[in-house]
């Protein structure tokens, strides 16, 4: 099975994304901002990864993103703020918070959807893509 993570926004307040399977979005993500792939303070590079089911002492049944250059223990888990990520990928249902402090909401439900989708699987392929911003001439003005 292949799951895509489309990173739709990045700033010093976090990296925001959408998880989709067979081009259907099903959950939202929050990661640390890009800081040259530094452990615990950066999101991981865009690319293709194999994710392996593990039992984390802290997060329970989850998946680890493997073969990340110079990184280990990059997990999918529940959480709401960029401070909760520890260099991992948070999964939820909603974006929340304020412009200065964006966060996720309904993490339990979003993470549950991911795990339900992967029920019975021990691995899956994760493809992370940085979606470029729309050119000014294509952006929507309100």
Residue at 140 is within a domain: no
- Residue 62 belongs to domain with CATH number: 2.40.440
Q: Check pLDDT > 60 for residue 134.
A: no
CA of residue 16 relative to chain centroid, distance: 7
Query: pLDDT digit string (tens) for 31-52?
Result: 999 999 999 999 999 999 999 9
* Count of domains observed in the chain: 1
pTM of the model: 0.90
Is residue 141 in some structural domain?
Answer: no
Quote the domain boundaries for residue 66: 2-132
pLDDT average, residue stretch 90-107? 91
Cα 82 to Cα 14: distance, rounded to the nearest angstrom = 6
């Amino acid at each position: 099975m292949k799951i895509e993570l489309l990173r739709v926004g990045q700033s010093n307040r976090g990296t925001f994304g959408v998880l989709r399977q067979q081009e259907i979005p099903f959950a939202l993500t929050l990661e640390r901002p890009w800081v040259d792939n530094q452990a615990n303070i950066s999101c991981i590079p865009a690319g293709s990864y194999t994710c392996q089911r593990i039992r984390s002492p802290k997060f329970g049944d989850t998946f680890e993103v493997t073969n990340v250059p110079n990184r280990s223990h990059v997990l999918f888990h529940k959480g709401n703020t960029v401070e909760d990520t520890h260099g991992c990928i948070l999964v939820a249902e909603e974006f929340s918070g304020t412009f200065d402090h964006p966060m996720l909401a309904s993490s339990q439900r979003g993470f549950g959807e991911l795990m339900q989708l992967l029920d019975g699987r021990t691995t899956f392929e994760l493809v992370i893509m940085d979606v470029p911003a729309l050119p000014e001439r294509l952006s929507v003005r309100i």
